[in-house]
Amino acid sequence: MSDPASAWRWLADAWAAAPVVTDPLFYAIAVPAVLLMGLAKSGFAAGFGSLTTPMMALVVPVPQAAAIMLPLLLVMDVTGLQQLWRDRDPALLRQLLPWGLLGTVIGTLLFGVLSSATVAGVVGALTLLFLAQRLLFRPRADAPPAPRWVGRACAAAAGFTSFVAHAGHPPLAAYVLPLRLEPRRLAGTLAVFFGAINLSKWIPYAALGLIDLRNMATSLMLAPLAPLGVWAGVWLVRRVSSTWFYRLAYTGMALTGCKLLWDGLRA
């Protein structure tokens, strides 16, 4: 293959035959999506994390996008937990995590019954309703937190939507953001909650046939990017004021809600 043209053809043929997604447009979208999810996994700009699967679903089916993201989430979870484990809120996790795991069980049972577009539309609508309620009816500073059953319902919804489309943050945020936890404490609590949720998805995803060589090889191609967004996000969480932290969180939720609602309506 001394001829350069022949060498390029050989490389192109080898790339096309590789057990990975080879569409350049997929990587043009997947690279920023993975970095965005890394930022979200750190707790910084957490509301933006639910945009990643819809972004990747522009070029691959939603179940495949979710399967490709799952190993990357594992890498991000390990990276984030190393940085944020000590900042978690154990009492809040004991309240929410069992219900989040119940949500993944419901997601497993209903997978394929409800379309991803339907779930996206419902999550988007609820997210925007929560934001409207927060903007129109601002609670007093001394207002009591929402009842515990609301937190459990939000955690179960987060487990369900996380299983279906890795879009678990908006339902949980509806409960935890009004608690006004210190940013690092909120970030640590979210890191542990979604780390456990993502770990629980592996066996159901395999049973549903989503863990295959093509998806896992594609994840491996993107894996070096996974920790970068987390590290950048942890650095920012430690330096951004609480005011701007929550402004970004609510902005992310607004954009996510609009995108998910649009995905549901256009299906």
- The DSSP string of 129-188 is HHHHHHHHSPPPTTPPPPPHHHHHHHHHHHHHHHHHHS--HHHHHHHHGGG---HHHHHH
Query: CA separation (Å) from 202 to 7, 119, 192, 210?
Result: 40, 20, 17, 9
pLDDT at 195: 92
Q: Please tell me the distance from the alpha carbon of residue 60 to that of residue 62, in angstroms, as a whole number.
A: 6
Please indicate, yes or no, whether the overall pTM of this predicted structure exceeds 0.85: no
Rounded CA gap, 263 and 225, in Å? Answer: 26
pLDDT tens for 95-136 read 999 999 999 999 888 877 777 677 777 777 777 776 776 666
The number of helix segments (H) and strand segments (E) in the chain equals 13, 0
Tell me the residue type at 262.
W
Angle between helices 62-84 and 116-136 (to 10 degrees): 50
pLDDT, position 132: 75
pLDDT at 96: 96
Burial 161-176 (b: 16+ CB within 10 A, else e): bbbbbbbbbbbbbbbb
**Can you give the pLDDT at residue 137?**
52
Take residue 120 and report the two structure tokens written for it. Answer: 């996206």
Listed in sequence order, the residues at least 6 apart from 243 whose beta carbon sits closer than 8 Å to its beta carbon are none
* pLDDT mean for each 10 residues of the chain (267 residues): 61 57 84 83 66 75 82 86 88 96 91 72 74 62 74 92 80 84 87 93 88 84 85 77 70 76 77
CA distances from 186 to 105, 124, 256 (A): 25, 22, 19
Three-state DSSP class for 124?
Answer: helix
